[in-house]
A and B are shown apart, each in its own frame.
Chain A
Amino acid sequence: MLRGDWGRDPLLPRPISLLSVAPDGRADLLAKNVGRGTQLLEGALPGTKVAVLGPLGNGFPEPAADCHDLLVAGGVGMPPLFMQAELAARRGLVDRCEMIYGGRSSRDLVLLGEMRALGLSTCLATEDGSVGRRGRVTAAMEARIDHHRAANQPRKLRVMACGPREMLWAVARIAEPHGIECYLSMEEQMACGIGVCLGCAVPARSRPFRYVCSDGPVFLASDLIIPPAARQAAGSTP
């Protein structure tokens, strides 16, 4: 949870995921200006102090030599997956994962150079086709699953995803019939980050609700109640 010296507007701290943590403890965050809090962060001058409560919550499962992880990132949901890739690279396992990264257009896809520098294999998708495949990141993910199946990928496939809620549900719906272990990093409105306000409830199977801040933000998709796909007009890719 992060908050600048903002007086009473906005009032609450902002939950922001870590992008990268250096060995000396310095951390990078990535935020997109989507409202008052992130606008103030964007406008902050170098050296501005912010209060941080964290790190909080869990993370994705560790990279493993006998697994191949599809890191599926939607827009500003990319940071925890970058951090996962960085961890894999540090352990010499960067070839055990690949980034499937989508956004509306090329302007939404950032840090591509840094991904290359990790030696990370990336597959890009944009809805306007300005870079990578045209279409949604979930279509790109489906294609990559088909590729691995056709190539008889000997390692266990896992999916780890972060992005807009609808994208995460779509990811889960694709992974499930393949029997692929799927981890979703969820977002929800929250005030405290430490399991007290109980604002960040998500419907779950193991209990009526689980909490993004204290039980997550990463959940096994099989423990969440995934709503059925909304019906869409044929061919529409909003």
Chain B
Amino acid sequence: MSASPVETSAFDRPALAIQCGGIDFRNPVLTASGTFGYGKEFEGLMPLSAIGGLVTKGISPNPRFGNPAPRICETAAGMLNSIGLENVGVEGFTSGKLPFLNTCGTKVLVNFFGTTFDEYVDCGERLGKLDGVDCLEMNVSCPNIKAGGIEFGREPQVLGDLVRACRKVIAKPLWVKLTPNTSDIVALAKACAENGADAVSVINTITGMAIDTRTRKPKLATVFGGLSGPAIKPIALRMVYQIHRAKLGIPICGIGGIQNGLDAIEFLLAGASTVQVGTQNFIDPASAERIVREVDEFCRQNAIADLRELVGAIRNP
């Protein structure tokens, strides 16, 4: 860490420290999987020790090369992506990415997934044994090949079984990133809570599509993609609030369209203990650091001595 203690104090103020899902974070601002690479890409653009933690690109047991282009397209106040879960695999991560992460001075959450039940368990077990990994975040928005391609995380029963199986082999904190492509987000959160998850990350991208009217073709090669960015913030906020209100006893990490400190505060008020910044990292790679400062400023202005005062502190209409 090259910056002086005076400059970094905003990131380490006791008032910003918070516990979430079995981890003590120096502040509540994390960066979301798939928008922050393996951390090293942001070296020199932002001091990684300024943020509460980072979530890596989703890791699968073996490397994956991803989907054909076009993989992304811009939409109103958001973007669609269909990258195809491209990643270096467990071995590539362990030898090529983890050594840097061990030196980066922030909490390291490793996102992981599989295409079968066994792959999830295998991947989680291997990653969970690595030194320098603080927490695992399960991506359950992948198609279950054996069940006709429906997302693992869409059926509470399937999700619960998957969480329980992974929990058995993972000693480290285990978070589950919920899919919003459901009619009952609370049922999904409940399945996680009842099967040993330490926290839920809410939400992953929302399935969408866009069409080029000139060519009449879908704008993504895979037709459907995941919508992210400020366009989805009201939906994410609503889902965080619903889960919090259900009093399941599981902490929430709020994700969806956070662009500034006040967006993050909204998620805390709705019931999240921590937040993840996603698409905004593309717009300005130093955003997460700025958002920490803005959260700090809000806390100073509102005499918040402990961030927990804000969690779920939404008032009745």
The answer for the CA separation of A11 and B283 in the assembled complex, in Å, is 7
On chain A, the residues within 8 Å of B36 by CB distance are: 196
The answer to whether B81 touches A197, judged by C-beta atoms less than 8 angstroms apart, is yes
Instruction: Let me know if A192 and B65 touch, CB within 8 A.
Output: no
Which residues of the partner chain B approach A224 to less than 8 Å between Cβ atoms?
none
Number of residues of chain B lying within 8 A (CB) of chain A: 32
The smallest C-beta distance from A190 to any residue of chain B, in angstroms, reads 7
B73 lies within 8 A of A196 (CB): no
B70 at the A interface (CB under 8 A) = yes
Indicate if the CB atoms of B283 and A3 lie closer than 8 Å: yes
Q: Which chain A residues (186-204) contact chain B, with CB distance < 8 Å?
A: 188-192, 194-203
A51: Cβ under 8 A from any B Cβ: yes
Residues in B neighbouring A10, C-beta threshold 8 A = 74
Contacts of A53 in B (CB 8 A): 45, 284-285
Q: Which residues of A contact B73 (CB under 8 A)?
A: 189
Given A11-B79, A12-B79, A209-B66, residue A197 in contact with residue B72 (CB < 8 A):
yes
A223 to chain B, nearest CB (A): 16
Q: Which of B35, B67, B68 contacts A197, CB < 8 Å?
A: B35
Interface: A9 (CB within 8 A): yes
B41 at the interface (CB under 8 A from A): yes
Find the B residue at minimum CB distance from A199: B72
A26 on the interface (CB 8 Å rule)? Answer: no
Whether A51 pairs with B284 at a CB distance below 8 angstroms is yes
Within 8 A of B (CB), among A4-41: 8-13
Contact of B76 among A9, A12, A195 (CB under 8 A): A9
Rounded to whole angstroms, the CA-CA distance of A3 and B259 in the bound complex is: 15
Contact across chains for B81 and A201 when beta carbons are under 8 A apart? no
Query: Is A208 close to B, CB under 8 A?
Result: yes
Across the interface, do B285 and A201 meet the contact criterion of CB distance under 8 Å?
no
Main secondary structure of the interface of A (DSSP, over half): loop
When the two chains form their complex, are residues A196 and B71 in contact, meaning their CB atoms are under 8 A apart?
no
Tally A residues with Cβ within 8 Å of B.
27
Q: B125 contacts the other chain (Cβ, under 8 Å)?
A: no
Q: Of B45, B65, B74, B281, which is within 8 A of A11 by CB?
A: B74
Which chain A residues border B34 with CB–CB below 8 Å?
A: 197
Q: Report Cα–Cα, A12/B230, bound state, in Å.
A: 12
Q: Does the CB pair B86–A198 fall under 8 Å?
A: yes
Measured in the bound complex, the distance between the Cα atoms of B76 and A207 in whole Å is 33
Asked whether B68 lies within 8 Å of A203 as measured between CB atoms, the reply is yes
| Chain B residues with CB below 8 A from A196, complex form | 35-37, 41-42, 281-282
CB of A189 within 8 A of CB of B71, answer yes
User: What is the CB-to-nearest-CB distance from B67 to chain A, in angstroms, rounded to a whole number?
Assistant: 8
The residue in A8, A194, A198 that gathers the most chain B C-beta atoms within 10 A of its C-beta is A198
> Smallest CB–CB gap between B42 and chain A, Å?
8
Is B313 among interface residues, defined by CB-CB distance under 8 A?
no
Find the B residue at minimum CB distance from A191: B282
- How close is A136's CB to chain B, nearest CB, in angstroms? 21
- Complex interface: chain B residues within 8 A of A203 (CB): 68-69
* Contact call B66/A192, Cβ cutoff below 8 A: no
Distance to closest chain A CB from B224 (angstroms)? 16
Q: Which chain A residues (163-212) contact chain B, with CB distance < 8 Å? A: 188-192, 194-203, 207-209
Shortest 4 CB-CB contacts between residues of A and residues of B = A199-B72, A208-B65, A191-B282, A192-B282
CB-defined A-B contacts under 8 Å, sample of 28: A3-B283, A3-B284, A9-B76, A11-B229, A11-B230, A13-B282, A51-B284, A189-B74, A190-B72, A191-B72, A191-B79, A192-B281, A192-B285, A194-B37, A194-B42, A194-B45, A194-B285, A195-B37, A195-B41, A197-B34, A197-B72, A197-B282, A198-B83, A199-B69, A200-B71, A201-B71, A202-B69, A209-B86
Residue ranges of B at the interface with A (Cβ–Cβ < 8 Å): 34-37, 41-42, 45, 65-74, 76-79, 81, 83, 86, 229-230, 279, 281-285
8 more contacts with CB within 8 A, not counting A13-B283, A199-B72, A208-B65, are A11-B74, A12-B79, A12-B282, A194-B42, A197-B34, A198-B66, A198-B71, A207-B65
Please report A residues at the B interface, Cβ cutoff 8 Å. Answer: 3, 8-13, 51, 53, 188-192, 194-203, 207-209
